[in-house]
Structures are given as structure tokens and as C-alpha cells.
């Protein structure tokens, strides 16, 4: 799956956050959220329709799409868990538990399926760990120092960067249908995560 498409699917997670917040922490599901759901899914359908994919010479198996959506759902659930924990735990304690739990959970799988990386692969693996940790840290600091709606809107730039990296490193093709679908997904996520403040 192209990096640009997987990034757009991943960025449906704010819509899932809105749904799970209503289910697990009793936040109200508003008409804005329902409207955002409709817009976001239309965007996904625009990107993943067969004619659009054939135009950019891409074939994506259904299981790959399912895995990408599961990633978005798990991200949303992680944010809900963080929100619950943030009332009682320090932000940096929560951050450190991400790599700790990942290490403990994945260690048996890594050891039983060990593949020794070459030097080039090792650099990429270290890059994943380094930039993931830096990204999580800067995101947390940003959320601490900015209004949540403003910080989350800036975070949507990841779709732009994901598309740029896909073009530069993997020679992926971006067409007008992708841009239209991605814009709808971003519009849906922005609507779902924006609170309307009523003046009294």
C-alpha cells in the first residue's frame, strides 16, 4: 500500500476517537461528528475505489485496507486510554509506557522470528525508533502548550508529509482523486475534533 494512502486511512482515527469517546467516557456524539463521519468515509471511498487505484497503477488487497483501519482504530483507543490516565498520571510517565509495553509484548515474537538486519536496515530500524519517540514527545509537549484543537489541526500536516515522503522515497504517484479524497478525510477529522464554543 502506498505510504500516502495508508497515512490518509490512519488519519481517520480522530473520527473513531469521537465514536469511542461517546461509548467509553460518555462524551456527547454531536451532529458535527455524524457529519464528519459521512464526509470522512466519502473521502476514503474516493481514494480506495478501483478506478482511482488503477489510474495510479496500484493494487491493494482487502486485508491490507483492513489492517490500516485497525491501526486507526487502535490509535483512537490509545488516545482514549491516555485521556483517562492523564487525570491521574504524569504525561511523561504515560509516554514511557508506550515503548515499555511494546518491548515486553513483542519480545517473544521478535526472538522466535529473529532476522539479523544488515547495516542499511539497521539504520532504518533505529530511525523508526528515534523519530517515533521524538514525534511522540514533541506532540505531547505541543498538546501541553497549545489548545487541543489547534495542536490537532497542526498534526494533520502528517498527511502532507506522508505524501511528500512517498513521492521522494518510493516514487509514488499522487493524482487529483487522491487529493480530493484526502481533503475530505482531513475535513472530516477537523470537524470531528473541533468544538463549537457558544457565546453567552
Question: What integer pLDDT is reported at residue 98 of this predicted model?
Answer: 77
What is the Cα–Cα distance from 156 to 163, expressed in whole angstroms?
Answer: 12
Cell numbers that stand for 175 in this block? 493524482
The rounded radius of gyration (Å) of the Cα atoms in the chain is 18
pLDDT at 150 > cutoff 50: no
Name the more confident of 65 and 178.
65
Binned at pLDDT 50, 70 and 90, residue 36 comes out as confident
Name the more confident of 177 and 144.
177
Indicate the domain borders of the chain: 3-193
Q: Which of 17, 74, 64 is nearest to 40 (CA)?
A: 17
14-24: per-residue pLDDT in tens?
Answer: 777 777 877 87
43-82: per-residue pLDDT in tens?
Answer: 777 777 766 666 666 677 778 888 888 988 988 888 777 7
Alpha helical stretches, state H, 3-118: 3-10, 13-24, 31-48, 50-55, 62-85, 91-112
Indicate whether this model's pTM tops 0.75: no
pLDDT at 146 > cutoff 60: no
What is the Cα–Cα distance from 194 to 153, expressed in whole angstroms?
Answer: 9
To which H or E segment does residue 158 belong? helix 157-170
Mean pLDDT of 132-145: 72
What is the Cα–Cα distance from 149 to 115, expressed in whole angstroms?
Answer: 42
Q: Which of 156, 178, 174 is nearest to 165 (CA)?
A: 174
Amino acid at each position: 500500500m502506498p505510504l500516502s494512502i495508508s497515512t490518509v486511512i490512519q488519519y481517520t482515527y480522530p473520527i473513531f476517537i469521537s465514536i469511542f469517546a461517546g461509548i467509553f467516557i460518555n462524551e456527547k456524539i454531536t451532529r458535527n461528528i455524524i457529519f464528519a463521519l459521512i464526509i470522512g468515509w466519502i473521502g476514503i471511498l474516493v481514494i480506495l475505489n478501483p478506478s482511482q487505484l488503477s489510474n495510479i497503477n496500484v493494487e491493494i488487497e482487502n486485508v491490507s485496507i483492513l489492517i490500516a483501519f485497525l491501526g486507526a482504530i487502535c490509535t483512537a483507543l490509545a488516545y482514549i486510554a491516555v485521556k483517562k490516565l492523564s487525570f491521574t498520571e504524569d504525561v511523561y510517565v504515560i509516554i514511557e509506557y508506550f515503548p515499555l509495553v511494546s518491548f515486553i509484548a513483542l519480545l517473544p515474537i521478535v526472538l522466535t522470528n529473529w532476522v539479523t538486519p544488515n547495516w542499511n536496515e539497521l539504520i532504518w530500524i533505529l530511525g523508526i525508533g528515534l523519530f517515533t519517540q521524538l514525534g511522540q514527545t514533541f506532540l505531547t509537549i505541543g498538546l501541553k502548550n497549545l489548545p487541543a484543537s489547534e495542536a490537532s489541526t497542526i498534526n494533520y500536516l502528517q498527511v502532507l508529509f506522508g505524501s511528500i515522503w512517498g513521492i521522494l522515497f518510493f516514487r509514488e504517484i499522487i493524482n487529483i482523486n487522491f487529493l480530493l479524497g484526502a481533503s475530505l478525510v482531513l475535513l472530516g477529522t477537523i470537524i470531528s475534533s473541533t468544538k463549537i464554543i457558544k457565546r453567552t
